[in-house]
Chain A
Amino acid sequence: MNWLNWLSDFFSDPDHRSGPDSILHRVSEHLTLSGEALLYAALLAVPLGLLIGYTGRGVNVVTALAGAARALPTLGLVTLAVLLAGVGDTAVLFPLVALAAPPLLVAAVEGVRGTDPDVRDAARGIGLTHSQVLLQVCLPSAAPTLLAGFRTATVQVIATATVAAYVGLGGLGRYVIDGLATRQYAVTVGGALLVVLLAVGAQLFFALLARFALPPGVRAQRRAR
Chain B
Amino acid sequence: MIRFEGVGKRHPDGTVAVEGLDLEVPTGRITVLVGPSGCGKTTLLRMVNRMVEPTSGRVLLDDTDVAELEPAKLRRGIGYVIQQAGLFPHRKVIDNIATVPYLLGWDRKKARARAAELLELVGLAPETAKRYPFQLSGGQQQRVGVARALAADPPVLLMDEPFSAVDPVVRAGLQEELLRLQSELHKTVLFVTHDIEEAVRLGDQVVVLREHGRIAQLADPHTLLTSPADDGVAAFLGRDRGLRGLGLRPAKAVELRPVDDGLRYGGWELALDDERRPIGWIDRSAGTAELQPSAGYRPDSDTLRAALDAAVLSPAGVAVALDADGRAIGTASREAVLAALTPAGGGPVSVRKPDPADAMGTPAGADTVGTADGADVVGTADGADGGR
A: residues with CB less than 8 A from B are 116, 118-119, 121-129, 132, 136-137, 140-141, 143, 215-218, 220-221, 224
Counting chain A CB atoms within 10 Å of each CB, the highest count among B83, B84, B89, B145 belongs to B89
The answer to whether B90 and A121 touch across the interface, beta carbons within 8 angstroms, is: no
Contact A123 B72 (CB under 8 A): no
Residues of chain A within 8 A of B82, CB atoms compared: 118, 121-122, 125
With A125-B49, A127-B100, A221-B134 given, is the CB distance from A119 to B149 under 8 Å? Answer: no
User: Which residues of B sit under 8 angstroms from A143, Cβ to Cβ?
Assistant: 90
B89 adjacent to A126 (CB under 8 Å): no
- Chain B's closest residue to A224 (CB) is B134
The stretch among B73-81, B210-218, B363-371 that forms the contact with chain A is B73-81
Tell me whether chain A's interface is mostly helix, strand or loop, or mixed: helix
Given contacts A118-B82, A122-B85, contact A128 B132 (CB under 8 A): no
Which of B55-112 touch A at CB < 8 Å?
Answer: 72-77, 79-80, 82-92, 99-100, 103
By Cβ-Cβ distance, the 9 closest A-B pairs, closest first, are A122-B86, A127-B76, A127-B75, A217-B132, A125-B80, A140-B90, A217-B89, A215-B90, A118-B84
Given A127-B73, A127-B76, list of 20 further CB < 8 A pairs?
A116-B86, A118-B82, A118-B85, A118-B86, A121-B82, A122-B82, A122-B87, A123-B86, A123-B88, A124-B75, A126-B75, A126-B76, A126-B100, A127-B72, A127-B100, A141-B90, A217-B90, A217-B134, A220-B132, A224-B134
B113 within 8 A of A: no
Shortest CB-to-CB span from B129 to chain A, Å, is 14
Q: Which residue of A lies closest to B104 (CB)?
A: A127
State whether A141 touches B89 (Cβ < 8 A): yes
Q: A125-B51, A127-B73, A140-B90 are in contact. Are A216 and B132 (CB under 8 A)?
A: yes
Which residues of B lie under 8 Å from residue A216 when comparing CB positions?
132
* B75→A125 contact, CB < 8 A: yes
Question: Which residues of B are in contact with A by a Cβ distance under 8 Å?
Answer: 46, 49, 51, 72-77, 79-80, 82-92, 99-100, 103, 132-135, 145, 148-149, 158
Residue of B nearest to A132 (CB): B103
CB-CB under 8 A from B77, the residues of chain A are 127
Contact indicator B134/A220 (Cβ below 8 Å): yes
Q: A217 touching B51 by the CB < 8 A rule?
A: no
Q: Supply 22 A–B pairs (Cβ within 8 Å), ascending by A.
A: A118-B86, A121-B51, A122-B80, A125-B51, A126-B76, A126-B99, A126-B149, A127-B74, A127-B75, A127-B103, A129-B72, A132-B103, A140-B88, A141-B89, A141-B90, A143-B90, A217-B88, A217-B89, A217-B90, A217-B134, A220-B89, A221-B134
Residues in A neighbouring B92, C-beta threshold 8 A = 217
Across-interface contacts of A129 in B (CB, < 8 A): 72
Q: What A residues does B76 contact at CB under 8 A?
A: 126-127
Q: Is the CB of B148 within 8 A of A126?
A: yes
Residue of B nearest to A220 (CB): B134
CA distance A215 to B133 in the complex (A): 12
Whether the Cβ atoms of B75 and A217 lie closer than 8 Å is no
Answer whether A128 and B89 are a contact pair too, CB < 8 Å, given A216-B132, A217-B132, A220-B132: no
Closest to B77 in A: A127
Chain B residues with Cβ below 8 Å from A126 are 75-76, 79-80, 99-100, 103, 148-149
B49 and A217 within 8 A (CB) = no
Residues in B with CB closer than 8 Å to A121 are 51, 82, 86
The verdict on A119 contacting B89 (CB below 8 Å), with A125-B82, A127-B76, A217-B132 known, is yes
> A121 to chain B: closest CB distance in Å?
6
Residues of B within 8 A of A141 (CB): 89-90
Contact of B91 among A124, A127, A128, A217 (CB under 8 A): A217
Docked CA distance A118–B160 (Å): 12
Chain A residues whose C-beta falls within 8 Å of the C-beta of B135 in the assembled complex = 220
Question: How far apart are the CA atoms of A171 and B168 in the complex, in Å?
Answer: 66
